[in-house]
Amino acid sequence: MWAEIIKKFSHFPAQEKVIRLLFERGFQINSEGKVVSGTIEIPHTQIAKEICVDRRVVNATTRVILEDDKLSKVFQNLHSITFLKEVAPLLGLSVIIITPQDAQQTGILGDVASLIAGQGISIRQAVTDDPYFTEDPKLTIITNEKASGDLINAMMKLSSVKSVTVY
C-alpha cells in the first residue's frame, strides 16, 4: 500500500513530503480537508512550516487525498499512538532497541518476544518501524525491568538481529 501512495505522489516531491509527515505522525484528514489529530485541528501553515513547503502544498495534498477513495479511507482512519521510548526510563521502564539484519524478514518480533518472555519479563510496548517508510527501521521494546546480559547475548545470537541497544 505504501508503495502505491508514494507512486501517486512521485511527480510531486513537496506533496510527498506532506504525505510522509501526515502518515508518520498519524494525522488524519477530515471530510473538510483539515489535518486533525482526533478533533484537534492542526493548521496547514504549521504542517508546511515543519517540512519547509508552502501551505498551498498542504492544501493541494489534502484535496488529492479526499478525491481518492483508498487514500481518503486511510487518512480518515489513521491514528497516532503513545510511544514510551523517550519517557520509559523516567517511568522506571527499560528500553531495548533491536536493529534487524533485514527488517522485512518475518518472525523478528516473535523471536525477540519469546526470549524476553522466557526470562519472565513483561513487555509493556513493542513498536516496529515500517521498513517501507523508514530508512533504518528498528524494533523498540519497552519492558517492566532491565534485560540481563544473558538475555542480550541470546538476542544477539538470533540470525535476524544485527545489534541490540539497551537503556
Q: What is the dihedral of CA 52, 54, 57, 58, to 10 degrees?
A: 70
Calpha distance 10→2 (Å, rounded): 12
Indicate the domain borders of the chain: 9-77, 88-166
Q: Measured over all CA atoms, what is the biggest interatomic distance in the chain, rounded to whole angstroms?
A: 54
| Each residue's pLDDT expressed in tens, for the chain with a length of 167 residues | 777 888 889 899 999 999 999 998 999 999 999 999 999 999 999 999 999 999 999 999 999 999 999 999 999 999 999 999 999 999 999 999 999 999 999 999 999 999 999 999 999 999 999 887 788 999 999 999 999 999 999 999 999 999 999 99
CATH architecture of the domain with range 88-166:
2-Layer Sandwich (3.30)
Residue 128 grid coordinates: 516496529
- Structure pTM? 0.84
Residue 95: name the closest of 152, 10, 31, 38 by CA. Answer: 152
Q: What letter does residue 103 receive in the DSSP assignment?
A: T
